[in-house]
Amino acid sequence: MNLFFVGAALLALACQVGAEKEKFLYFAYGSNLLHKRIQIQNPTAEFFSSAVLPDWRLDFNLQVKAWNGAVATVVPDHKSVTWGALWLIDLDQMAELDKQEGVPDGWYYATNVTVLQPKGGSFEARIYIETQNPSPPLRPGQTLPMDRRPSNTYLSVITFGAIESKLPKDYIKYLFTIPSNGKTASKEKLQELGHFYEIYPCLK
């Protein structure tokens, strides 16, 4: 038996085992629905499946300069659900995701929730929720006030991310009914999104 080849095989196996990193599931319901967006700062993110968060409603509140409008959050609402994408991400990138979501700045806090897959099964996943959620809640039939509306850019990223993630058609139709503030994100944000806006230039 050739000991060189045996040693090489064992070394290759050890490298393969060592390369397997710990992962975590992240539930995205806002701009990180879009593959291009999530991978800008989290390049190991792999789409796992679509999922739904029962008893929470999609809403908008925090104004972010780069997006030139309000960004998404979820608020407790037993009459609503929020659909999103489950991403599988290397555990050593969690701090980077926290930074992207503004946790160190106090914009969002991270927690774990139970989400459901369309064909059954439940998973515990990390989620980010704004530290100051909208108050008071909208009354039935009331539209988002202007200071809580997302920009055209942000809303486009969400809706096309929802399509890309194969969220239910009715939910996608709902996303298209959300009013925007008519503004465009910053030049830097558009450049960051790059390829997405080369595909959909009409959304600038």
Q: How far apart are CA 179 and CA 181, in angstroms?
A: 7
Which domains does the chain carry? 21-199 (3.10.490.10)
Under DSSP, the state recorded for 131 is S
Q: How many CA atoms lie within 13 A of 113 on its CB side?
A: 25
Examine the residue annotation and report whether 101 is marked as an active-site residue of this protein.
yes
- Token pair for 143: 């539209």
Give the pLDDT score at 179: 95
Under DSSP, the state recorded for 81 is E
pLDDT band at 125 (very low <50, low <70, confident <90, very high): very high
H/E run at residue 73: strand 69-90
Q: Does residue 42 sit in helix, strand or coil? A: coil
> For the segment 169-198, what is each residue's pLDDT rounded down to a tens digit?
999 999 999 999 999 999 999 988 885 554
Query: How many residues appear in the chain?
Result: 204
> For the segment 27-55, what is each residue's pLDDT rounded down to a tens digit?
999 999 999 999 988 999 999 999 999 99
Q: How far apart are CA 34 and CA 113, in angstroms?
A: 21
Give the pLDDT score at 195: 56
Record the pTM.
0.85
Out of 20, 96, 101, 192, pick the active-site residue. Answer: 101
- Token pair for 130: 């704004």
pLDDT band at 133 (very low <50, low <70, confident <90, very high): confident
